[in-house]
Amino acid sequence: MNKIKLLTLGVLLATSATAVQAESKLTLGAGVGVIQHPYKQYSSDVVPVPVLTYESDNFWFRGLGGGYYLWNDGTDQLSLTAYWLPTYFKPSDSDSHKLRRLDSRHSTMMAGLSWFHHTQYGSLRTTLSGDTLDKSNGLIWDLGWIYHYTNGNLTLTPGIGVQWSSDNMNDYYYGVSKKESRKSGLRDYSADGGWNPYLELSANYRFLGNWSVYGTARYTRLSDEVTDSPMVDKSWTGLLSTGITYTF
């Protein structure tokens, strides 16, 4: 099992969740999930999902990301943040003989600023981050709104948002260089920046005190800059996951 595949869902779960509640200092768990990739003839991944969240007055950690609070008054939370971006392309994972001739695209460490603003009607979240490992030298800006609905032990969290990826980011993961074009037979392609809107829904049911079962789903509509790539044959990506956690 590829280590990146093993951890991808943990990161996506972290990015689709709101800030951890103050009383939930440490949560551990495990589950299983399905990831739909946009690349041509690229199978969906069914992978184990590690879950780890931690919250203190100064630091937080979710999945493969963490941060340090510059400001945290309960309503507004401004953080320095860093996280592992699990986007990647492995030529041997595709059944397309043309895509097998392309170069690999690697995951990277992103770092930047994140901000949460909490109201009685929901929470606004936004993160601006950049590649720190010289893979794409790209930027990502994420902006979303989520709402918590609680009925007894059941909590539902629907959300809506949009993610902007810079031209460097899109071109690294979805562009085809002239050299790759000659090797693969695909047309060469240079991608610009683009907007990817998404919808998400998380559900959590607490039982036996500190034990919980969860489910989460995210649907992302890809920008034209991604779908126009000769590497891609889907207009969307998706995530489904379910598992069990324990809160200390």
- Residues linked to residue 16 through DSSP beta bridges, in sequence order: none
Count of beta carbons in the 10 Å neighbourhood of residue 136: 25
What pLDDT shows up at residue 1? Answer: 42
What pLDDT shows up at residue 14? Answer: 46
What pLDDT shows up at residue 207? Answer: 93
Distances (CA, A) of 171 to 139, 164, 165, 175: 12, 13, 10, 4
Half-sphere exposure of 161 (CA within 13 A, CB side): 25
């170069």: which residue's tokens? 103
Identity at 228, one-letter amino acid code:
D
What pLDDT shows up at residue 35? Answer: 85
What pLDDT shows up at residue 138? Answer: 97
What pLDDT shows up at residue 86? Answer: 80
Count of beta carbons in the 10 Å neighbourhood of residue 179: 10
The stretches in the chain having pLDDT less than 70 are: 1-24
User: Any idea what DSSP says for residue 74?
Assistant: S
The helix or strand, by DSSP H or E, that contains position 167, with its residue range, turns out to be helix 167-174
What pLDDT shows up at residue 147? Answer: 96
Q: What is the pTM of this model?
A: 0.87
CA angle, corner 121, sides to 119 and 126, nearest 5? 60
- Mark 68-103 as b/e (b = at least 16 C-beta within 10 Å): ebeebeeeebbbebbbbbbbbbbbebbebebbebbe
């093993």: which residue's tokens? 6
What pLDDT shows up at residue 51? Answer: 86
